[in-house]
Chain A
Amino acid sequence: MIADEPLVVGRHSFRSRLFLGTGKYPTFEIMREALEVSGTECVTVALRRVALGGGQSLLDFIDRKRYVLLPNTAGCYTAQDAIRTALLAREAAMSDLLKLEVLGDRLTLLPDPVETLTATRALVKEGLTVLAYTSDDPVVAMRLQDAGAAVVMPLGSPIGSGQGINNPRNILLIKNSLSVPVIVDAGVGTASDVSIAFELGVDGVLLNTGVALARDPILMAKAMRLAAESGRAAFLAGRIPVREYASPSSPEAGKIEAAGNR
């Protein structure tokens, strides 16, 4: 039986190929349990102005010995803002990992590939390990790899939409044309979306809303873990080709004579 290899991102190595966001959970306690049940080893976090005066902090609920922090630049609309946020995130996390997200439209929250490319170049030069969130355009994905992105992260569908993998053929093209890992990021609505992504051969899936806003986030986290495992296993096992017509599973030879028919 084929054994899977860990996913290597920069100087980190992950056995779980599922990456979870930490936003929008009903409570920090539910988030903590969902992360645990999902089996993830890497979680995304956002950077915001600190609440002056103290209080409960997200990081009180994330065991940093267990999870690698992946800070994002969510909410940035220009390369300049994303770079500024990224450099602050590096100091706060004391880590080189960065999910670069530069958006181009406030309604669809679709990524801005031009600004993303500019920011990728600058941040790679700064020594960051850039995981670049982008559209599902195979040419843009190649450009990001050329710019030094450690991972290219095409969207399945718009952030928080739950539409799943809208363009599996493009995801497949991206995976097949890049040498860096490909992680599908955004749009996952339910477990089968995760399986579909892994069956296409991608190296990882990053999701947040699909778990955080499920009726039972903890149970959904389990479903996502199982879907990741089964989709990845199906990919490694090698699916059969799709045929136009049927192909009998039982032998044709040695059948008893059919009664009544010829």
Chain B
Amino acid sequence: MMSTETTIEIEVNGDVKRVPDGTTLADLLKDLRVEQQPVAVELNRTVLKSSGFERLLRAGDRLEIVTFVGGG
């Protein structure tokens, strides 16, 4: 049986990923299990404020999700 759920294709940190249509950025962060860390997100080359995380993802969106690692 065919799923009624449609998916869209996005790019996350250089990898192509399919997510259900209607997914918000906040949903995606939860799904990737990174929502507990301080992350910053660049969407189509624009840095988002965390208030922008409720935005619905669209097909073709390119995301960079970054966090802090050890460094000098």
Enumerate chain A interface residues (CB-CB to B < 8 A): 21-25, 31, 44-54, 57-59, 69, 71-72, 74, 84, 87-94, 159-160, 186, 206-209
| Given contacts A57-B37, A92-B39, A92-B40, A49 and B70 within 8 Å (CB-CB) | no
- Knowing A52-B34, A87-B47, say if A23 contacts B66 (CB, 8 Å): no
Taking CB atoms and an 8 Å cut-off, the chain B residues in 55-72 that contact chain A are 64-72
Chain B residues with CB under 8 A of A57: 36-37, 67-68
A interface: dominant SS: mixed
Q: Are B34 and A159 in contact (CB under 8 A)?
A: no
Max count, chain B CB within 10 A of own CB: residue among A44, A51, A53, A88: A88
Given A24-B70, A207-B72, output 5 extra A-B contacts at Cβ < 8 Å: A59-B37, A84-B47, A91-B50, A186-B72, A209-B72
Residue in B49, B67, B71 whose CB lies within 8 Å of A74: B71
Interface residues on B, range: 20 to 34
Beyond A54-B36, A88-B66, is A46–B47 a contact (Cβ under 8 Å)?
no
B67 in contact with A47 (CB, 8 Å): yes
Smallest distance from the beta carbon of B45 to chain A beta carbons, Å? 8
**Contact partners of B12 in chain A: CB under 8 A:** 52
Q: Which residues of B contact A209 (CB under 8 A)?
A: 72
On chain B, the residues within 8 Å of A160 by CB distance are: 72
